C-alpha cells in the first residue's frame, strides 16, 4: 500500500458529491492501492447529510478509506489536503441566472487560496464519427442546450455525469497521461489560441509529474475556432458579471 493521502471535497452534501465519492472510495480516481482520508465540507445545516454519507461509506467497508472527516469549518476541511474537489454547491435552479450562480460560487471559494480508440485503433475523432456536419452542429447544440429541457428538475441534475467527469479529470492530473496523448482541462490562460491571459479556460493539455502544460491541438479547424471564440466570450462575460 502507498502512503495515505488526504482528499478534500467541498459542497459535499449533494448528490453530485455522493456520485463522486463512490468513484473515489472504490479506487477509480487515485488508484486501487491508494489509502485515503476524506475531508468533507459543507454548511453547518448540511452536516447531517454528510454524516449519513460517511456512515454509508463506512458500512460498505471500502478498504482504501482510513478515515472520513465531516466538518462545516473550511480551514479544517482543506488542512494538509493532497488533492481537493471544490464542488459548486450552488444549484442552477429555475429563476437563477448564470451570473447569480457564478457570484455565489465565487463567494464560496474566496477563502481558499480528442482522440478515440475503436477496435484497438487510435484515430482522429472526426474520422471515428464520420459526419462533420453532425459533430459540429447537432452534437454541439445538444451538449450546450441540454439543461434547458431540464429546468425545474431537482438541483441534483446531471450529478452522475458531472461526477464522472470530475473523477476522470482528477485521475488524469494525479496519475498522468501517456507521453503521446492529451486531454482538455480548465486551466489559467497564458495567451495561447488567442484566449486572453488571466482567465480559466478549457485547453488541450499534456500532464507530467501532476503538472499540466497547454499544447497545440491536433484538431484546430475553423469550426472548432468558432466554438472556442464563442465560449471565450461567455467566460469573459461571466467573469465581468461576477466581479
Domain with CATH 3.40.50.720 in the chain: 5-91
pLDDT on residue 8: 95
pLDDT on residue 154: 47
Distance between CA atoms of residues 33 and 26, nearest Å: 10
pTM of the model: 0.69
- Is the pLDDT at 194 greater than 60? The verdict is yes
Distance between CA atoms of residues 73 and 37, nearest Å: 16
pLDDT on residue 158: 65
Domain with CATH 3.90.110.10 in the chain: 115-154+176-242
Higher pLDDT: 234 or 113? It is: 234
Cell of residue 140, nine digits: 454541439
- Is the pLDDT at 50 greater than 80? The verdict is yes
> For residues 139-150, b (16+ Cβ closer than 10 Å) or e, as one string?
eeeeeeeeeeee
Q: Domain 5-91: which topology?
A: Rossmann fold (3.40.50)
| Banded pLDDT at 89 (limits 50, 70, 90) | low
Give the C-alpha distances (Å, rounded to integers) separating 178 from 203, 211, 216.
17, 14, 16
Higher pLDDT: 151 or 240? It is: 240
Q: Which numeric CATH code is attached to 115-154+176-242?
A: 3.90.110.10
Bridge partner residues of 36 (DSSP): 5, 65
Report the mean per-residue pLDDT for the chain. Answer: 78
For residue 134, give the H/E element and its range.
helix 132-134
Give the C-alpha distances (Å, rounded to integers) separating 125 from 100, 130, 132, 223, 224.
36, 8, 10, 14, 13
Which pLDDT tens digit goes with each residue over 211-229? 888 887 655 666 566 666 6
Closest CA to 151 of 90, 91, 104, 89: 91
Distance between CA atoms of residues 64 and 84, nearest Å: 17
Which pLDDT tens digit goes with each residue over 115-160? 455 556 655 566 666 767 776 677 666 666 655 555 544 455 567 8
pLDDT on residue 182: 86
- Is the pLDDT at 189 greater than 70? The verdict is yes
Per the CB < 8 A criterion, the answer to whether 37 and 70 are in contact is no
Amino acid at each position: 500500500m502507498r502512503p495515505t493521502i488526504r482528499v478534500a471535497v467541498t459542497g459535499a452534501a449533494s448528490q453530485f458529491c455522493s456520485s463522486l465519492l463512490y468513484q473515489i472510495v472504490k479506487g477509480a480516481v487515485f488508484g486501487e492501492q491508494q489509502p485515503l482520508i476524506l475531508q468533507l465540507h459543507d454548511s453547518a445545516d448540511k452536516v447531517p447529510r454528510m454524516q449519513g454519507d460517511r456512515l454509508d461509506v463506512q458500512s460498505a467497508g471500502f478498504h482504501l478509506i482510513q478515515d472520513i472527516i465531516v466538518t462545516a469549518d473550511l480551514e479544517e476541511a482543506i488542512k494538509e489536503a493532497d488533492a481537493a474537489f471544490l464542488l459548486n454547491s450552488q444549484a442552477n435552479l429555475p429563476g437563477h441566472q448564470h451570473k447569480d450562480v457564478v457570484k455565489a460560487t465565487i463567494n464560496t471559494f474566496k477563502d481558499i487560496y480528442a482522440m478515440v480508440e475503436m477496435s484497438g485503433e487510435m484515430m482522429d475523432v472526426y474520422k471515428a464519427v464520420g459526419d462533420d456536419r453532425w459533430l459540429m452542429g447537432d452534437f454541439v447544440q445538444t451538449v450546450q442546450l441540454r439543461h434547458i429541457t431540464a429546468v425545474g428538475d431537482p438541483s441534483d441534475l446531471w450529478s452522475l455525469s458531472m461526477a464522472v467527469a470530475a473523477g476522470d479529470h482528477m485521475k488524469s492530473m494525479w496519475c498522468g497521461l501517456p507521453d503521446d496523448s492529451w486531454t482538455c482541462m480548465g486551466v489559467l490562460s497564458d495567451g495561447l489560441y488567442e484566449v486572453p491571459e488571466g482567465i480559466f479556460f478549457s485547453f488541450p493539455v499534456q500532464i507530467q509529474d501532476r503538472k499540466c502544460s497547454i499544447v497545440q491541438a491536433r484538431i484546430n479547424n475553423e469550426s472548432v475556432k468558432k466554438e472556442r471564440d464563442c465560449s471565450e466570450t461567455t467566460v469573459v462575460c461571466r467573469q465581468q458579471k461576477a466581479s
